[in-house]
Structure formats: structure tokens, C-alpha cells
Structure 1
Amino acid sequence: MTDQLSGVPVAPDRLPLIGHSVAIIRNPLEFMASLSDVGDVVQIFLGPRPVYLVTTPELIRQVSLNENNFRRDELAESIKDICVNSVNILTGKEHELRRRMIAPAFKQARLADYAVVTAEIANRWAASFEDGQDVNLMSSAHRVVLETVSSTLFTGDFTAHAQDQIREDIPWLLTEVVRRGSLPASVRNARLLANWRFKVRSKRLREAIGEVVTQYRRNDTDQSDVLSALIRHTDQLTGTTLSDEEIIDELILVMAGGVGSQASLLGWILHEVISKPDVAEKLYRELDDVVGAGPVRPEHIPALPYLRLVLRETLRMWAPWVSTRTTNGEVTLGDRTLPDGAIVAYSPYMIHRDDEYYENANDFDPERWTPERAATAEQRTSFTFGIGPRRCPGNHYSMLAISIQAAAFLARWQPVADPKYVVKPSNKDFVLSPSAVPVRMRLRA
């Protein structure tokens, strides 16, 4: 095995002691995109420890579909204190059970309830701007997504304190989780002040959410929200119910997985439409035909097929830049056998931006997803929400929410981008977010 691993190529520009950590933090997109030509499996180093990055769709599918061969040690270490035993950390039978336990929160009937809340917030957000106002749409998108996610988690009248705590702590905690995951363990452990702040904010957030869970149990009524679904579900196979601590874990996971990623994708979809007149013209025409003067309603979304194409292309262009696993025993990938405890990583972004898998992969082309052009090969290389047992359970809600928010905004506004500002990706989340989207608001006729 040692001989096999010694032949695994190492990514260029490795620095003494810290490895590739600086390159990953400073410019993860450029770093990841440079590795597909290095080999099918490439070693990158977080400090002295190697990470084995797989660079082909076939190997990514092998990792994703063979769940029992991997654990989530690195992720668990990054989010400990804030999230102890959520579904994205658990493995094996525990993971299977937890997925069944949280599934009712994302059933179609629940999504219909969430869509009503999402539309109300989105329309109120779209109406909050003034013609001629200068706005950073990225900051605004983050606020509306944060309000939407927290409002669909729990809707009781007594939840204001918890929602305020979410809005205060979640953005900082998300950024810190990404940073912790990119640093070697020695550096991460040496950040005493940052680690202390992480623990304090995590404890404060968990306590605030815990108070809401306790109150929900006392009231014992279905509020048509995520928390109600988690509290009231009993697994039919085992008779298991979720404890308060497990529910807190899952609520925080919904926020961690939803707020940053949804806000980033909403920011990107607005940026792409604003900066591409041909895309904007088609989308505005569709919105005029279906939505008219508004407000946007959930039932409008299925009648907006071009908006769905724009969203799918945004998801492809701005896919998660990294995902990690830890081998659970010896694992063979291609012609390499990795030892137990080895870190394996892959980059959906790298695959989605490779011309080998997507024609003119760096061009924003929504119509590549029309039935006539969406080839089977492209379907097999789409990893935005993951595949297999760890596919994101909230993916349908995320797409619905972003569609409603984008439709509500673009039905009313046609902003003009700041010509002096170049929008760049920022690695504050597992989905890279626009650094900023500065615009001058222009009301549509």
C-alpha cells in the first residue's frame, strides 16, 4: 500500500509545514481547477496531513455511492460544539435512521406550507427597495434567506428571541466552520480566541433554540413548520423519536446548510441575470407573462420553465467547491488503496467547470438544460446537491425557495450593475458566494 500511495502525485506549490492551506483559503477555485490534469487522485496537504482529492466523475460517484466505506471525521471536527450528531455526521445505520426521521420535514405537503411563508417574505423583500437606491444585493439576499429559513424552522409567536439569535450568530459561525475545515489541526487548535468565541456562540445559539423546542413540546400543536415535523414524527420501523438535543442538531444543520448556500446561489442568480442581457430579456418576458405585476405566488413557479433553466445553470456554475470523507477501513479508489482514516475530498465545482464534461463549461448557458440538450453524460456529472445516501434532503425546498425569491425580485426590478465593481467569488461557505453585487435599483415598467 505504501508503494501505491508514494506514486500519488502531489499538487504543486506545497509550502513547508502548512502544505496547501494558504492556496485553499486564498483562491480555492483556481487551486481546485488546476488539479484535474495532475491525476485521477491527487495529494493535497493540510499541514503535514495528506488529503486525497479524486478528480473524475467516476471516482466521485464511487465515493458517494459507497457510504459504508467512509466516515465524516473532518466535518465532525469542524462543527463540533455547534452541531454534535446531525445527519450529515452520522454514518451507517444511525445515518439511515436519522434520514428517515427528518424526511417528513421535507415532504411535498410541508413544502407547500413553506412556500407560502417564503412567498410572503420574498414579496415583502422585493417591495422594500426604492427606485434609484444603491444596494449590495448579496447582503440583501443573505438577510432575506436568513429570515426565510428561520421562519420556516419555527413559526410560533414566542420564537422571536431564537430568530434574533440565529440572525446574529449563524453568519459568523458558518464562516468560521469553513475556515476551521481548511486549516491543519495544529493551526486550528492554536486559534484559542476564535475557538473560545465559537464555543460561546454555539452554546448561546443552542440554548435559544432549545427553549423553543421545549415550548413546542408543551404546546403540542402542529405549526406546519420544520420543528413541528421533527417533534411529531415516530419512525415506523423502530418506534424511535428525536430527543431535544437531536432536534437542535438538525435545526442548526438546516440553517448551516441552507442560509449560506441559498443566499450565495440567490446572489449568483441575480448577478448572472443582471450581467447577461440576453438571459434577462427571456426571463423578464416569462415573468411578465406569468406573474405580471405580482405578487409572486407559489403556484407561479411551475409555470416559469426558463427561470428553472437559469437556476439549474447557476447551480452548475457555482456548485460546492469541496466535500470531504474519511475512509472507514482500507478503501480502493481506481488503482489506489487508501488506509483507514485517510481523508478523501472531491470538488463538484471542478467537475462542473471542466470542458470535458460540459461544452464551454465556463459560459453561462441556461439552455444547455433543455430536454434537447441535457445529455445523459451531463446528468451523471451533476453533483450540486450530492448523490447517493448523502444527497441533500432539503434540495427541493432550496430550489423552490430560490425560485420564489428570484421571481419576486425580478418581476419588479431591473437593477443596473455598478460598472466599477468586478464581482468575485468569496469562500465564506461551502458554496462560494459573490463578494458583493452592488447595483442601482431600477423599477420595471
Structure 2
Amino acid sequence: MGTGPTQTSAPPVPGAWPVLGHAPALLRDPLRFFGSLADHGDVVAVRLGPVPVYALTHPALVHQVLVTDGDLYERGRLFDKLSRIVGHGLLTSSGPPHRAQRRIVQPLFQRDQIACHLAAMRAAVGDVTSAWRAGQRVAIESAGNDIALLAVTNSLLPPRTGEEVARMVKENLPVLMRALVLQIALPEWWTRLPAPGNRRAERAVANLRGAIAEALTRHRAVPAGRSDILSSLVHARDAAGKPWDDVAVIDQALSLLVAGVETTGSTLAWVFHELARHPHAERQVHDEIDAAAAEGISDPRQLRRLIYTTRFLQETLRLHTLSFFMRRTLEPCELGGVPLTAGAEVVLSPHALHRDPRWHPNPETFDPDRFKPGTPAIPKGAYLPFGTGAHRCVGEHFAFTEILTALTMICSRWRLRHLPGTRVREIPRIEVHPSKFHMLLEER
């Protein structure tokens, strides 16, 4: 598929402010801003403060950056900022360090290893839903985050050591995610000011790292032989046979927490929102879960019988996904006929790509059958809920298993209904959260 006429320079996106560039538009309404960029070209010039940024709106160019020419790019500005929170773990590293870390971490999240964490996932769902009663109003966005938080901390940490970490993540992670968008959009000098938001972010980082460090200290005081992820990280060895030091273990643990809590929690809330909006699809999900439960669902492999439910989740992830992420060129290169210098920042928006009618017909229509076998293939680079290429999310199978497990446990007993007048808005950070809303529990 072509990418349009060859360009020699990227057309500038109108509306840049003096000094601040497009930062005001990005901060005011990032989803609308990214969604408008395709009107100006396949590669367009955006300014974040004084920094020139090239935004990609065509999936072929996105695939080129993330896969075909992936070795020509590193993580970029977003991940530089994120490294101040999580350090230099798998979530923020690039190149040889990333490949070395991935060789150690990825086996912990392969399909056959996910079964080790199914009990932790089921316990998380049970803990959050055990007090639910028919007729009760549930804050579903909070419930989704609580399930994701407990599932990750139960899997990451040894028994009885995760409570303080979970509390710290719940209190501090939202602070950091809000601060991160500001730090990306505003000039670098702003992040060094003693502004209240910057101070809150610094305290939140210290709180999170301190909690993980304390959990690691307690962990080292107990015998080996546990199946939690932290134990695996402690006993991991690099290519030279050396173990990771405490800083490296804390960086990896924080990367997993940051990547696996708010994104999965938001997706769970969006799933129940979409189920309530689409009764016909909800009936198919409930019927499929009931049939699977009658045969028994005690293993992640049995979740693969949930074919329609999986398509429902894929469609939810199409509509409700990451707002944007970035890459940086390592050497001079070319994108769509536009020459880029070494160090150029490139931004792409999965949210905008997923709602572009060129790649997803009738994009605002919720249709799980988009993912049915035999339907037209989605172009490479046009569907990125977990990224693609060398930096594809290592926890993809974990997240799918966690969400499907929550669905089987909740939908086998409950139907969740919107309250009259409910209006759910998109709240963009790096991921896109639903606004706070309550749902009514009906016992099936």
C-alpha cells in the first residue's frame, strides 16, 4: 500500500504558539489533536516547545519505524521522561540493553508460564468482587484498576509482601502519569522548576521506588524456590552469568507495575462499558462464557475457547488504547520522502490510527466481527494495542489472560448496567482512561 506522494519536507501543522509550539493544543485535547494530524499529511511537523517532532499518520510508515527499520530508532522523548520514574528497565531501554533484558524477562511471560499466575489473577478478581451485592452501584473504573493492581502485585511479589507496594502504586501512579504528559509537552527547563506538580511527581517516584526496595529487602530474607516474578528477577543471570543488582531488579519491577496496572485496569472498565452499550454482543459473550464454564476453565489454554469474547476484547482495545508513543532516530534516515536528521523525534498515535476510516471502516461503530476470520486484513501498523516489533509489550499474554479471567468470573454471575444518564468520557494520559462512572449490579 502506498503512502501518498513523495515529500521533501514535512508540512507544518497549523496552530503552533510562539515558544510553546503545539503544547497547548496537545494538553487541551490530545486525542482531538492527534486525530486531526492525518488531514495534513502522512508525515507532518509538530513542535513541542522548541523541539521539532515528526508525527506519522500512515500505518506503512509506522510499521517501517517500529519493525522494518526498527534498528534505526530508539525509544525517544516519552521514554526519556518515563525513565525518571521506572529507571532503565525493559519499558524504557533500547538497543542492546533492551535485547539483553528482554532475553531474561520475556520467558517469564510466555504462554506456558502464565498458568503459574492464574491463581493470583483469580484471587484478585475474588478480592474485589466478593462484597458485590445485587442492586449495588459499583465504581467500575476503580474496580478495574483494583483488579489489575492486585493481579500484578500478587504475581510480582511473594505472598504477604505486596500490600504496601499495592497501596503505594494506587496512591502514586496516577500522579506520575498526569505529570508525564506535562513533562513531554512542556520545555525541559519547566521540569526543573520547583513547581507543585514537579514536587508531587518527585515524591511519588521516591515513594514507589522505596516500596519496591523494601519488598526486595524482605524478599531476600526468605528462602528461594518461590514462583513469583520478583524471585525470578532476583535469580536471573545475564549473558555473562552475572545476577542483576538491586537497582536493576527494582527498575524491572517498576516497569512491570507501570505497564501492567493502569492500562489493564482501564481496559477492564471499557469492556464492561461496551458490554452494557451493546446488549446483542453482551448476550453472545455471556453465552460463550456459560458454555466454557460448564466444561471448566481452570487453565489459560481453556480461555482460548472464548473466541467471540476475545474478538470483543480486541475491538475494545481498538477503540480504547494508548493515546501516543514516540521514537528517536539514531542516524539520518528518510520517512515517506522526508529526510530526518539523527536525533529527530517521531510520534505516532495508536488511538488516531485505530479510528482512521481508511484502515478501519466505520471506525466509531463497535463491531467485534472486524476480527472474524475471513474479514479484510488490517494493514500492518494500523492496529497497535500492544505495539509491534522489538518493543512489543512483553506482558501481552498476561494482560489477555487477566482480562479474560476477570470476564469469566464476573460475567458468569453478574450483568452490569449503566445508570440512567451515564456519560462516559475519555480521559487521555498515555493510555486513555474512562471518566469515573458507576454501574448497577444485576444478578444473572
Q: Is this a same-fold pair by TM over 0.5?
A: yes
Contact 1:10–1:43 (8 Å) recurs in 2? yes
Q: Could you tell me how far apart the structure 1 residues matched to 2:42 and 2:174 are? A: 35
Q: Given residue 409 of structure 2, which amino acid in structure 1 is its aligned partner?
A: A
Could you tell me which residue of structure 2 aligns to residue 432 of structure 1?
A: 432
For structure 2, the 5+ residue unaligned runs are 1-5
Could you tell me which residue of structure 2 aligns to residue 61 of structure 1?
A: 63
**Per-residue CA shift, 1:149-194, capped at 9, x if unaligned?**
1111102334433333233222322332233223332433336322
**Per-residue CA shift, 1:105-144, capped at 9, x if unaligned?**
2133431111221012213433321211122211221122
Structure 2 SS opposite 1:37? helix
Could you tell me which residue of structure 1 aligns to residue 97 of structure 2?
A: 94
Structure 1 SS opposite 2:373? coil
**Per-residue CA shift, 1:203-242, capped at 9, x if unaligned?**
222122112223323434132111112112223x432422
Q: Could you tell me how far apart the structure 2 residues matched to 1:76 and 1:318 are? A: 21
Residue 48 of structure 1: how far off its partner (Å): 2.5
Residue 303 of structure 1: how far off its partner (Å): 2.2
Contact 2:63–2:380 (8 Å) recurs in 1? no
Residue 307 of structure 1: how far off its partner (Å): 0.9
Structure 1 SS opposite 2:141? helix
Q: Could you tell me how far apart the structure 2 residues matched to 1:211 and 1:180 are? A: 28
Q: Could you tell me how far apart the structure 1 residues matched to 2:320 and 2:228 are? A: 29
* Equivalent residues in 2 for 1:179-194, closer than 5 Å: 179-190=182-193, 192-194=195-197
Q: Could you tell me how far apart the structure 1 residues matched to 2:215 and 2:409 are? A: 30
Q: Does 1:287 align with 2:289?
A: yes
Residue 53 of structure 1: how far off its partner (Å): 0.2
User: Cα distance 1:58–1:379, how it changes in 2: closer, same or farther (>3 A)?
Assistant: closer
Could you tell me which residue of structure 2 aligns to residue 239 of structure 1?
A: 241
User: Cα distance 1:293–1:103, how it changes in 2: closer, same or farther (>3 A)?
Assistant: closer
Q: Given residue 85 of structure 1, which amino acid in structure 2 is its aligned partner?
A: H
Q: Could you tell me how far apart the structure 1 residues matched to 2:17 and 2:321 are? A: 28
User: Cα distance 1:158–1:126, how it changes in 2: closer, same or farther (>3 A)?
Assistant: closer
Calculate the TM-score normalised by the size of structure 1: 0.92
Q: Given residue 258 of structure 2, which amino acid in structure 1 is its aligned partner?
A: A
Q: Does 1:271 align with 2:254?
A: no
Could you tell me which residue of structure 1 aligns to residue 118 of structure 2?
A: 115
Q: Does 1:72 align with 2:75?
A: yes
Structure 2 SS opposite 1:43? strand
Contact 2:326–2:347 (8 Å) recurs in 1? yes
Q: Could you tell me how far apart the structure 2 residues matched to 1:81 and 1:251 are? A: 14
Residue 5 of structure 1: how far off its partner (Å): 9.4
Match of 2:132 among 129, 136, 139: 129
Match of 2:48 among 46, 61, 71: 46
User: Cα distance 1:95–1:295, how it changes in 2: closer, same or farther (>3 A)?
Assistant: closer
Could you tell me which residue of structure 1 aligns to residue 3 of structure 2?
A: none
Could you tell me which residue of structure 2 aligns to residue 305 of structure 1?
A: 307
* Equivalent residues in 2 for 1:100-179, closer than 5 Å: 100-179=103-182
More off after superposition, 314-323 vs 15-24: 15-24
Contact 2:153–2:162 (8 Å) recurs in 1? no
Q: Could you tell me how far apart the structure 1 residues matched to 2:360 and 2:162 are? A: 45
Q: Given residue 325 of structure 1, which amino acid in structure 2 is its aligned partner?
A: R
Q: Which contiguous aligned blocks of 4+ residues in structure 1 show a shift greater than 6 angstroms?
A: 293-297
More off after superposition, 237-246 vs 375-384: 375-384
Q: Could you tell me how far apart the structure 2 residues matched to 1:370 and 1:404 are? A: 21
Could you tell me which residue of structure 2 aligns to residue 390 of structure 1?
A: 391
For structure 1, the 5+ residue unaligned runs are none
Q: Could you tell me how far apart the structure 2 residues matched to 1:175 and 1:426 are? A: 11
More off after superposition, 396-405 vs 281-290: 281-290
Structure 2 SS opposite 1:440? strand
* Equivalent residues in 2 for 1:412-427, closer than 5 Å: 412-427=413-428
Contact 1:318–1:349 (8 Å) recurs in 2? yes
Could you tell me which residue of structure 2 aligns to residue 21 of structure 1?
A: 23
How many equivalent pairs are there?
Answer: 438
Could you tell me which residue of structure 2 aligns to residue 12 of structure 1?
A: 14
Q: Given residue 163 of structure 1, which amino acid in structure 2 is its aligned partner?
A: A
Contact 2:45–2:52 (8 Å) recurs in 1? yes
Q: Could you tell me how far apart the structure 2 residues matched to 1:128 and 1:296 are? A: 23
C-alpha RMSD of the superposition: 2.3
More off after superposition, 225-234 vs 155-164: 155-164
Contact 2:137–2:438 (8 Å) recurs in 1? yes
Contact 1:116–1:297 (8 Å) recurs in 2? no
Q: Does 1:361 align with 2:341?
A: no
Calculate the TM-score normalised by the size of structure 2: 0.92
**Per-residue CA shift, 1:33-77, capped at 9, x if unaligned?**
111121111111212222100111111011112333222341343
Q: Could you tell me how far apart the structure 1 residues matched to 2:200 and 2:381 are? A: 42
